[in-house]
Amino acid sequence: NGECLGDMRKLIYGLLPASPVDLSRSKYLALDCEMVGIGPGGKESSLARVSIVDYNGAVVLDEFVRQRERVTDWRTAFSGVRERDMINAKPFDEIQARVADLLKGRILVGHAVHNDLKVLFLSHPRAEQRDTQHLAHKNGQSRGTHPALRNLVRDMFSVQIQGGEHSSVTDARATMAVFRLHRKQWERAYSTMPIRVNNSRSDGVKGKSRAHASMNRPEGGTDGEGANNTTQNRQVKSAAKRKVVHSVGNGGRKGVSSGLSTIITKRSKGGGGGGGGDKSQWWKELGGGAKGALSLSR
């Protein structure tokens, strides 16, 4: 991928030289959140810190989030968040709006990023998400189905993170480093766009009509060839409609030829429904010939 492991290690530690953040040129942003516990036993998670970094690890946003409910477990050993951090914390609605604005139209990089979006009550287009947990597993670069970020960083860069209190800034940078290391390979799956076929005319056709329309539609060739085939089909159909079987006797029926060489019409004499009429010597009306000859015996 052309990335130097030494540079990626510097990115994780925030030591990579970076120019001032220019959001107009930032295509990729990495997001990480920290949570605290609320409710009985602190089992319910509440957003406490949000960090976003750019492609080079420069901090774009790093804010603590004011809690609307009483915190029952600060989870400091893992979250790194303390009660004093709430002094200058910002309201949730403000942080949510800022994050949504930053992510709009950009590629979101994250580790199990659905968890971060869930706690932010935000959604982001699936095609614009790059989940390092999912991609590492999908491409055979992890040992498990849901690899931890610290394990990926250890295996790829020989760097230890999350040994004690977590930092959402460090985790966001580490996530970006993992993504950058495999970016070219991982992005191939997103560079191939599905081909959309315009079937607006046939979409409204159902059942047998849809199958009939599909059979008449040419599979290859230019638009001109398709038009010629359509014209020929119409001419064949018109000729078939004009092919009418002559009237059989007085008052007989006229029918459209179905491709049979001979049509046998049984006329009822004497007004009988199904069993009346003269049945004698009806076979004499059949044509002769080797294949047409019939031999009947009683």
* Both structure tokens of 72: 């029952």
Say what the pLDDT of residue 239 is. Answer: 53
Mean pLDDT (whole number) for 197-208:
46
What tens digit of pLDDT does each residue of 267-285 get?
Answer: 444 444 444 555 556 555 5
Q: What percent of the chain lies above the pLDDT cut of 90?
A: 54
What tens digit of pLDDT does each residue of 175-193 get?
Answer: 999 999 999 999 988 876 5
pLDDT at 125 over 80: yes
Q: Could you tell me the pLDDT band of residue 238, with boundaries at 50, 70 and 90?
A: low
Say what the pLDDT of residue 202 is. Answer: 41
In 3-state terms, what secondary structure has residue 231? helix
Say what the pLDDT of residue 25 is. Answer: 85
Q: Could you tell me the pLDDT band of residue 75, with boundaries at 50, 70 and 90?
A: very high
Q: Give all domains of the chain, ordered by start, each with its CATH number.
A: 5-184 (3.30.420.10)
Q: What percent of the chain lies above the pLDDT cut of 70?
A: 64
* Cα–Cα distances in angstroms (integers) from residue 3 to residues 126, 149, 152, 170, 184, in the given order: 26, 19, 16, 19, 10
- As a whole number of angstroms, the distance between CA 112 and CA 260 comes to 69
Angle at 279 between CA 275 and CA 283, to 5 degrees: 135
> Please, is 126 exposed, middle or buried when counting C-beta atoms within 10 Å of its C-beta (0-12, 13-18, 19+)?
exposed
pLDDT at 145 over 90: no
Say what the pLDDT of residue 279 is. Answer: 54
Say what the pLDDT of residue 192 is. Answer: 62
